[in-house]
Structure 1
Amino acid sequence: MNGAVLYDLAMRLPLAVLMLYNALFVGRDIYAHLFLWTGPRGLTYGTTVASLVATEVYLLLVAAFTLVRLRPVRKLSGIVPRITALAAGLLPASIAWLPKAPPMPGRQVVGTLFIIAGMGLAVVSIGWLGKSFSVMPEARRLITNGPYRLVRHPVYLASLIQGTGIVLIYPSIAAVLIYTVEMILQVIRMGYEERVLRDTFPEYDDYARQTSARLVPRLY
């Protein structure tokens, strides 16, 4: 086994293990809500269960595709793009460590619906990526179908939708600041990914012209 294969394996395992570890805790919460729950089973309960299930599917999908993904054709050199990708991916989780006031029921339902929408879009988008899924700015295959026909970065759109839901449920100045920094990092991250895709696939420029929106059709 050569050094490149070992390096690729070393890059796969931590993310896959992290996703599976988180999936265990989410699975525990799903079990508790479905089989141990003794409270009211209204709209708040239903949206919470739906968001937990969507999160579980997302975590398992990321873990699976991380393990079976294709070897990259090209990687963007430099440490800054990698740090940017890691920070943008991990930063939203830091909101969970902030002090939280009990969420208001109405705001919790709306925020949870945003989380469900974001997770649903992420699952669909990662499903279309398949073995081309990556966290770092790397090129494997150029995906132009499914949600990628509408916007060039649907996974990051999904992350921002999900982040909106989290901020709605637990609003605070710190949460808004974290969310703002994440948006900035995602925009920078998109630029890095577009650079490596453009350098790898000659047809990327045509795709970018046809799918002009990065995140939101007719807006950005």
Structure 2
Amino acid sequence: MLKENVPASKFVTVGINITLAIVWIAYALWYARAFRETGTWGFLVFCISETILACLYVFRTAPRRVSIHFVDWIVAVAGTALPLLFSSTGVLIWSGGSVLILIAFVIQIFGLLSLNRSFAVVPAQRVIKTGGLYRFVRHPLYASYLLAFAGYILISISLYNILIIAAATTLLFLRIRLEEKYLLTDATYREYHAQVPWRLVPFVY
């Protein structure tokens, strides 16, 4: 029977980081092409965001332990991959969607600065960060993703994109629950969890 977490191997960590960097470069190239084809600058913001993430994945800190629970990995990988299936051929219904994407990008940058390279795709134990945006909500990066999803649907709405975003949003909320279930085994995180009651939006959720 597999354990729910194992010590992180440096070799495995480097391999995963490089793989994720390549995936995010693919995201960035896709959004660059979407920007060239549509002229919608929200896609350019996505391109810049994914390029930054690709660089950060190369230099992120190694975790102390990583979950190898099957469901944790499936949800994390599927939730990460689904946005790559977005289509840029939908209908632009409000150009203000690009503004939402820009706001999401700013939140994402401040969230990443708050983490200082201590972030993950699958549940993992790293140094618990409680400063910056993490003083207000426990998952500011996920909040930025939801805002970006809303912006995306406004600049490229289609039944296909609605279904992809619905699935990605469902997985994101499931991902939050699975991550917190894993992290609550850490005493430091339990203390942080008690101090910051809001997951995504202060005084709302």
- TM bracket, shorter-chain basis: 0.7 to 0.9
In 1, Cα distance between equivalents of 2:171 and 2:81: 11
Question: What corresponds to 2:145 in structure 1?
Answer: 159
In 1, Cα distance between equivalents of 2:44 and 2:61: 27
In 2, Cα distance between equivalents of 1:5 and 1:75: 12
1:95 aligns with 2:86: yes
Structure with higher helix content: 1
Question: What corresponds to 2:70 in structure 1?
Answer: 79
1:209 aligns with 2:198: no
In 2, Cα distance between equivalents of 1:6 and 1:206: 32
The 5 A counterparts of 1:50-199 are 51=42, 54-96=45-87, 99-101=89-91, 103-104=92-93, 107=94, 109-199=95-185
Question: What corresponds to 2:18 in structure 1?
Answer: 13
Over 3 Å counting, the alpha-carbon distance change for 1:184 and 1:23 in structure 2 is: closer
The 5 A counterparts of 1:28-39 are none
User: How far apart are residue 189 of structure 1 and its match?
Assistant: 0.7
In 1, Cα distance between equivalents of 2:184 and 2:141: 19
Gaps of 5+ in 1: 34-44
Deviation beyond 4 Å, 4+ runs, structure 1? 24-30
Q: Deviations over 1:83-107 (max 9, x none)?
A: 111111121221226x524x24xx1
User: How far apart are residue 29 of structure 1 and its match?
Assistant: 7.9
Q: Deviations over 1:119-174 (max 9, x none)?
A: 22112111221221211111211011111111101111111100001111222333
Q: TM-score, normalised by structure 2?
A: 0.84
Q: Tell me whether 178-187 or 159-168 shows the greater mean CA deviation.
A: 178-187
Task: Tell me if structure 2 keeps the 8 A contact 1:65–1:133.
Answer: no
RMSD of the TM alignment (CA)?
A: 2.6
User: How far apart are residue 27 of structure 1 and its match?
Assistant: 6.1
Gaps of 5+ in 2: 1-7
User: How far apart are residue 52 of structure 1 and its match?
Assistant: 5.1
Matched residue count? 198
Structure label with greater radius of gyration: 1
Q: Report % sequence identity.
A: 27
